[in-house]
Amino acid sequence: MSKLLGTIKRMFGGGGDRPPELDATLKELRTKTPTPVFWLVGKTQSGKSSIIKYLTGADDAVIGAGFRPTTKTTRRFDFPSHDAPLMGFLDTRGLDEPSYDPTADIAALDSQAHVVIVTAKATDFAQGNVRAALEPIRKAKTSRPVVLCITTLHEAIPRQPHPTPYPFGTQPIPAEPNPANHEIDLNFPNAVPGTPSPVPEDLRRCIEEHTRAFAGLYDVLVPIDLTKPDDGFADPNYGGEQLKAALLNVLPEAYRQTLLRLKEATDALKDVHMRHAEPVILGYSTMAATAGAVPIPFVDMVIIPGIQARMATDLAKQYGQAMTSDRFKEIAAAVGVGLMSRQLARQATKFIPIVGSAVGAAVGGASTYALGRALCYYFQASCEGHVPDAQTLKAYYQEQYTAAEKKWKSA
């Protein structure tokens, strides 16, 4: 018993750092997949998060929790994680304030961003602060592409469907009025020749107004309407493919490939993390099995939770994520009921010589292994942009526990 406690004490006294070989592998992957960084410039609620969600596939919870402050008025979101990013997003948050000065942000972010994405709601023409911030950003590096996204198109045409097929194309739109009629020739490339414009007049006027307002400050204009599926629009990602095509067209070649191969690169990260996480899970599971074999009732109920908590922290580090108390409670709530019931049932067997130790070892080892795999499932899903629900996580845990228990009993 004292030997076991001594081992656990040494384990908790040090270690827990990510293995050097994992850092080396991640560094190699970063070298092979250069990270494109998009600088988002736009007012609050102008569609910046929707663009991140579309390009990464991440859900709102992951995006909301993934931003890290970079300056007093900006923050950065790395996908899938900050230690192995495949895409980066810089969000400028101070544009709604009249006193906002972009000087500090330009100094901090100018060298990081490859493309500037400007967002403006179709019906919001009060864009003075956005233009004031964009002008020095544009001037600081005129060679850096600026993509202007006119968002929330449905607000300009309430109760009307989006014009289909998508009529706007991805080519640059002239920013100067046509001297003949003093209107902007939007030149919808997907319109059918000889037919009326497929774009409702109200929407057309909104887009024209923004082209005038941002004249000379952008390279490509892409009208988009990225909505939620339950909003009822036929295409919730209206203009999304055109935006992605525009970004691919303006990105440098090396960074373009990362965006094109995002799924492949994410899968490679998944394999790397799991390969290094498996030995960690097995090590803690073996320790939990040893604790479970101690023939003294209820002693392991104190020791095993500590082993599992340390394992959770170490696995979080493997995936470059923080094991916060809220996150641990969320995961524990999904699998904790089954864990506790097994632990209580196991205590009765401790009074049976030999058999009790064998059962205790099997349950302790299997439950810890299953929890470790469930943690990896959770962290990987978070890396891919999704937070698994409690029911899915519990089902995965049960599946892993059943398989692990058979192995521990036969060992």
Domain regions of the chain by residue span: 2-20+263-410, 34-260
Cβ pair 344, 280 in contact under 8 A = no
Q: What is the pLDDT of residues 241-251, one digit of tens each?
A: 999 999 988 98
Nearest to 62 by CA among 406, 383, 407: 383
387 Cα distance to chain centroid: 10
Burial of 328 (0-12, 13-18, 19+ CB in 10 A): middle
- As a whole number of angstroms, the distance between CA 308 and CA 316 comes to 12
pLDDT band at 173 (very low <50, low <70, confident <90, very high): very low
Nearest to 141 by CA among 39, 33, 256: 39
Task: Provide mean pLDDT across the span 67-82.
Answer: 82
Q: What is the pLDDT of residues 101-159, one digit of tens each?
A: 888 888 888 889 999 999 999 999 999 999 999 999 999 999 999 999 999 999 999 98
Query: What does the DSSP 8-state code read for residue 230?
Result: G
Q: Which residue has the tokens 């290094």?
A: 276
Min mean pLDDT across 112-121, 224-233, 257-266 is at 257-266
Statement: residue 346 has pLDDT above 50: no
Q: Which residue has the tokens 């081992």?
A: 7
Beta strands in 296-409 (DSSP E): none
Cβ pair 244, 165 in contact under 8 A = no
- As a whole number of angstroms, the distance between CA 281 and CA 404 comes to 12
- ∠ CA 80-85-87, nearest 5°, is 85
For residue 20, the model assigns a pLDDT of 62
Statement: residue 267 has pLDDT above 80: no
CATH code reported for the domain at 34-260? 3.40.50.300
